[in-house]
Structure 1
Amino acid sequence: MFNNIPPITRNIIIINVIVFIVTNFLFREQYTPYLAAFYPFSPFFHSWQIITHMFMHGSIMHILFNMLTLWSFGPVLEQSLGEKKYLILYFASGLGGFFLFNLWNFVEVQQISSQLQTLGFNVDAYLSGAKGVFMGSSESILKQKGLLESLNGIVTTPMLGASGAIFGVVAAFAALYPDAKLMIMFIPVPIKAKYILPVVIVVSIFLGFSGNVGGIAHFAHVGGALVGFLLARVWRKQLFNRF
């Protein structure tokens, strides 16, 4: 059955599984800090991470969900779009997820930095590697420490996973086949793709803004879905004019 999956989708799944085994069971400490994607202005960021993070997963459930979703939607798109466009769609969606997620991170970092500077904390020196020096009253210092903890959370926590690319694939499927009926877990009746996609996007945006992240990069999902949907809309007319 696995051999019947088109080559691009099959190879992406194989690479993800191999990387998951290597980075989670063999050399986790050595590779994860270099292959997962850190905030671009973090000292831990490296340029290759904008690609390598798409092949990193933190748990079996994480990779299982992503690869099953790719296996469900990828073959149809690969056959419809052709290998070249499908590959462009996949990686462009992953990049879209990375950039939107970090655009939101940038906004948060600016807000936190502004508050810290108002309280007398030298953020620029701290981000350059200097030791943080707290100034002011005990109440002010306590607030600075809380803000600094939030800042450190953004700078030192990497994003990883193919979710941005996967959401792009799902969104592209919904754009090309809006009336296709899909079965969703815990929902007993099939629902058209054109109704599922907006709900998923709205929920992801809400969770991203509300801060109910739970270790999930919701804005990466939104960024990937937007890129996948837009590319599919651009290619849709050309695709169906061939028939």
Structure 2
Amino acid sequence: MFNNIPPITRNIIIINVIVYLVSNFLFTGLYDSLVAYYPFSPLFRSWQVISHMFMHASFAEPGGLMHILFNMFTLFSFGPILEQTLGEKKYLILYFLSGLGSFFLFNLWNFIEVQQLVSSLESLGVNISEIYSRVSINIAEYSTFHAPNQEAQGLSDQLYTTLRSPMLGASGAIFGVVAAFATLYPDSKIMMMFIPIPIKVKYLMPIVIVVSVYLGISGNGGGIAHLAHVGGALVGWILARIWKKHLYRFN
């Protein structure tokens, strides 16, 4: 059955599984190098813009295995149809541009939050360079600062955590795939967990996006990069809208 999956989708799944196994059981130090940190964090490296798309929550973390299983199952469910519809080249472009859109929107919001934190901390007399220097050491225990008051301490810890918290996973790219599917096949019905009836994707996708925007902006995301999902979905929707006009021109 696996051999019947179109090549691009199949190879993306294989690469994700290989990276997961290698980074969890052979070279665990790869995690810090391949996940994506905030671009102005001392821990950021240029290749993380791409490599984070193939990283998933650690096997040792609660729900770590489910992270990659859910992502790969979703890609397996929607990817083959789109790959056959768009062709390998456009499908590959869709996948990686959605992943990049995910990274961009998530870190655009991070940038706004970091600038607000820095401004507040500077007004309180906190040495920002001390926080950045401790981030470069990359040891969680170093997050206690000599802040002038409790407010400054809390903001310092918040900035430190933001600079050290990575994004990882194929979810942003996969959200782009799902959004493109919803754009090209809006009347298709799918079943969702905890929802016992099939729902057309043209109704379900906007609900998912609105909820993701709310959770991402409100900070109630529970450790999930919801705005990354929105960024990927936005790119997928835009590309599908562009390609849809010419998709059947020669048929």
Give the alignment's TM-score, normalised by structure 2.
0.91
Q: Are 1:134 and 1:144, in contact at CA under 8 Å, matched by a contact in 2?
A: no
CA distance in 2, matches of 1:242, 1:122: 63
Matches within 5 A, 1:22-37: 22-28=22-28, 30-37=29-36
Q: 1:118 to 1:85 in 2, by over 3 A?
A: same
1:209 equivalent in structure 2: 217
CA distance in 2, matches of 1:135, 1:175: 51
Structure 1 residue runs without a partner (length 5+):
none
Give how far 1:209 is off: 1.2
Q: Would you identify which runs of 4 or more consecutive aligned residues in structure 1 move more than 3 Å? A: 128-136
1:70 aligned to which of 71, 75, 78:
75
The one-letter code sitting in structure 2 at the alignment partner of 1:87 is: L
Give the alignment's TM-score, normalised by structure 1.
0.94
Q: Does 1:4 align with 2:4?
A: yes
Give how far 1:242 is off: 3.0
The one-letter code sitting in structure 1 at the alignment partner of 2:84 is: Q
User: Which of 123-132 and 199-208 deviates more?
Assistant: 123-132
Q: Are 1:121 and 1:133, in contact at CA under 8 Å, matched by a contact in 2?
A: no
Q: Are 2:97 and 2:235, in contact at CA under 8 Å, matched by a contact in 1?
A: yes
SS in 1 for 2:39: coil
Q: Are 1:38 and 1:159, in contact at CA under 8 Å, matched by a contact in 2?
A: yes
1:79 equivalent in structure 2: 84
Matches within 5 A, 1:136-215: 136=148, 141-215=149-223
CA distance in 2, matches of 1:83, 1:71: 15
Q: Does 1:229 align with 2:237?
A: yes
SS in 2 for 1:66: helix
CA distance in 2, matches of 1:204, 1:126: 30
Identity of matched residues, %:
66
Give how far 1:122 is off: 2.3
CA distance in 1, matches of 2:161, 2:224: 14
Structure 2 residue runs without a partner (length 5+):
58-63, 136-141
The one-letter code sitting in structure 2 at the alignment partner of 1:112 is: L
Give the count of matched residue pairs.
Answer: 238
